[in-house]
Chain A
Amino acid sequence: MSGAVISAGPGAAAPQAGGTDRSPLPIQVWAMAGRSVIRLIRQPALVVPSVIFPLFLLGVNAGGLNAATNIPGFPTDSYLTFAIGFTFIQAAIFSTMGAGQSLAQDIENGFFSRLVLTPMRPSALMAGQLAGLILMGQFQALLYLAVGLVAGADFAAGVGGYFVLAALVSVISIGFGGIGLIMAIRTGSGEAVQGMFPLMFVLLFFSSMTLPRNLIEQDWYRFLATINPVSYLIEAIRSLFITGWDGEALALGFGIAGVVAVLSIALAARSLKGRMLK
């Protein structure tokens, strides 16, 4: 009865009609990653501000706060060298919000429904979204490092430090990207994801972003900066610029970024599983 097999297309173009096998994970990840990268490239209006704004803040702070290097015990005589570490973190957090936003958009406009009707694996969706993010993070890392060096910042860790920097930025992107995805999956609303922005801003500012923790005078502020995990991410990157290879700072940075990444990805995967079809 083989003549009865009918495909919705001329000839045998769809041999698996009525019985598509699952496509291998790498192919799905590749397809989804391709889409997220294309989206980034084609929406400069979304990307450019998240690249430029951290640079602007760096410029303002480097010029405006150079006087802070006169505080006794300040670790370097260039505020630019001190402040640039924060730029990477800020950019990573900004663009992760973007990843959450784009998934929320998919859910809002129904594209997500289209995807879940295909045999796509949840892991492919997440990996795809994160791939765009990591790429963006790498681009930003390279750009900021170049701008910083041209503007006269030190990079004490040298060439090898670049790879450490790139690795750390990736882990941070994954961690905060996961948080953006969780919000998107749970709420399905771009507005709700955007509503997290102020919270991220608070996390960024109440950290050791402008002064080393030991030089913060106000006790309450120093306390907040000490319990704020973002401080340690900044300090890890900062150590590469100021001291070179500071094992403790790097271990803390990678450790915290790693924990955030594992937790957020696990949670995102769980939330996504609930959203996928049975």
Chain B
Amino acid sequence: MNDSGQNMYFSAARAVAWRYLHNLYSKPAVFIPGLVFPLFFLAAFAGGLSAVGDTPRFDYYDFTAFQFGFILIQASSLAGVFVGFSIAADFEQGMGRRLMLATSRRSAILLGYAAGAALRLIVVWVIITGVSLLAGMEVRGNGYDLAGMYMLGLLSNVVALLFSAGIAFRFRSLQAGPLMQMPVFIALFLAPVYVPQDLLTGWIEPVARVNPVTALLNGARSLMAGEPTGILLAYGVAAGMIALLGIWALRGLRKAEMAG
């Protein structure tokens, strides 16, 4: 890619990102659910279940902080899924085809959506973090720890985005919405949501052990606590999933191109 090609690539990505954010701004109904959902779970779990934090062997230092780890990963992933919705909606309305015609290197479209999603995510992070702090959450990690934690959030955002974009490119219809949302939702809840991993019992215990979300969740929680453990594993899992799902999404994009 020469310089002008590179410029064109990034200006296309910028245009897609701008349009995505503009849509969110002008249609709050699209933005609000991605924000309200995590806040709702934060209230329901951190508020309703705090007694669980007092049980023997629950060794995390603060129940709200414990739940925050989950909410962070959940909010970040859902924000990625919502990008899949936007892509599907674009194709349904014919906008996707227009974008495809307008850009020579189509991966710029994906990059544009991803950039838009990341910016949106920052707003969501600020709000859920603010609310958690107001609710009395205690933060033990230092600046580097917290940066690492939010980075894990960003990576889970990219993972979910690539997954749902792959579906959106293949189905090109909002009807596929549940196909994007449900697997992510299920994967999230098959991780140690309410209690640390070693307190899980029954069938969910082995499932959580192999669930990649568990690694992300444990990593984020340990960074919040200022006692990083399993960080290499968390980042490794995220990188691996991004590589695999990146192929999945780009192949989907090719399929969308083939379908015209």
Contact = CB atoms under 8 A, between A and B. Distances in A.
Interface in B184-204: 186, 189-190, 192-195, 199-204
Interface stretch (A136-144, A169-177, A201-209): A201-209
Chain B contact residues: over half helix, strand or loop, or mixed? Answer: helix
A120 B2 CA distance: 73
Nearest to A215: B51
Interface stretch (A16-24, A27-35, A60-68, A247-255): A60-68
Nearest to A220: B47
B55 A59 contact: no
Contacts of A49: 178
B55 A211 contact: no
B233 to A, nearest CB: 21
B205 interface: yes
Interface in A159-204: 198, 201-202
A221 interface: yes
A64 B193 contact: yes
A225 B55 CA distance: 21
A218 B48 contact: yes
Contact of A60 (B178, B189, B199): B189
Interface string B47-58: 111111011111
Given A202-B40, A218-B48, A60 B55 contact: no
Contacts of A198: 33, 36, 40
Contact of B52 (A60, A68, A202, A220): A68
A63 B54 CA distance: 18
B202 to A, nearest CB: 4
Nearest to A195: B29
Nearest to B193: A64
Interface in A226-258: none
A67 B195 contact: yes
A224 B199 CA distance: 28
A67 B203 contact: no
A68 B204 contact: no
Given A60-B189, A63-B203, A64-B200, A221 B48 contact: yes
B114 to A, nearest CB: 27
B194 A205 contact: no
Nearest to B57: A67
A-B CB proximity, top 3 nearest: A63-B204, A63-B202, A221-B47
Interface of A: 49, 56-57, 59-68, 70-71, 198, 201-202, 205-206, 210-211, 215-218, 220-221, 225
Given A56-B186, A56-B189, 4 more contacts: A68-B194, A206-B48, A217-B51, A221-B47
